[in-house]
Amino acid sequence: MLKIENLQANVADKPILKGLSLTINPGEIHAIMGPNGAGKSTLGYTLGGRPGYEVTGGSVDFAGQDLLELEPHERAAAGLFLGFQYPVEIPGVSFVQFLREAANAQRKGRGEEPLSGGEFLKLAKEKAGLLRMDMDMLKRPVNVGFSGGEKKRAEMVQMGILNPKLAILDETDSGLDIDALRICGEGINAIMRAPDKAVLLITHYQRLLDYVKPDFVHVLAAGRIVKSGGPDLALRLEEEGYEAVVQEAA
């Protein structure tokens, strides 16, 4: 589904990703862990197509398309979802209005019929329910006045509504209390655990992986994947720290 080969990217002319390769097949959940400054968020933003993240080498194939050739909205329509570490507040725009337009823009990009207001609300209600979020919250302006945990749950509701093939979730667990962590974890499983879908979790900590069991764990350090393994690698990192594992790999 996603094949990243030797990806190199700069931010403000500084090389951050220095030859990253990763293949994700349908049905798989991958976790990327790594110390601060390793390039984890840069990987997410580069795959999402954020302006300012300049690809200087390598390739990314997403479901048969050259991902790097696509604009951010085209990547979304192709089935990519980027969960933000810091979801952006947009005063004056309600979630419901924004998400309905977004869902229909994606459908249009794929040549599908738009959802009616009723159909959309039904879908939104169902997905909000998965994340135990009240529909009233989705009538409010996008992320404005939401707590850290509410913002992350709202990201997962968006993911549910937009129904992507691949979700890249950038530190979805940061800012969550124990209950919200469990709710988000269950939400990710309910929405994305499917034979034709895949998830790339970007995280510092093992704790989210207690709820969303990864098939593969990778360690990112200094812009490269230095070690890959199964779920036990995350536990080892938690015990021994990044430094030991990174040094051993070097």
Partner 1 sequence: MNVELALPTRRHEDFRYADIAALETVWPIVTEEIAVADGAEDSLQIVETGTGAVARHIAITLGKGAKFDLRVLTAGPAYGRIAVDVRLAEGADFTLGAAQLATAEETLEIVTEVTHAGLNATSEQIVRTVLAGKSVGTYLGRIAVERGADGTDAEQSVRAMLLERTATANARPELEIYADDVKAAHGCAVGELDAQGLFYLMSRGLTPPQAKRLMLQAFIAEAFTGAAGEEELSAAAIARLEAIL
Question: Which spans of this chain sit near partner 1 (rule: CB under 8 A)?
Answer: 48-51, 71-73, 75-77, 82, 84, 87-88, 90-93, 97-99, 101-103, 105-106, 109, 141, 158, 162
CA–CA–CA angle 213, 219, 220 (5° rounding): 130
Long-range contacts of 208-215 (CB under 8 A, 24+ apart): 208/172, 208/173, 208/181, 208/184, 209/31, 209/234, 210/185, 211/181, 211/182, 211/184, 211/185, 211/186, 212/29, 212/185, 212/188, 213/29, 214/29, 214/30, 214/31, 215/28, 215/29, 215/30
Tell me whether residue 116 is exposed, middle or buried, using C-beta atoms within 10 angstroms of its C-beta: 0 to 12, 13 to 18, 19 or more: exposed
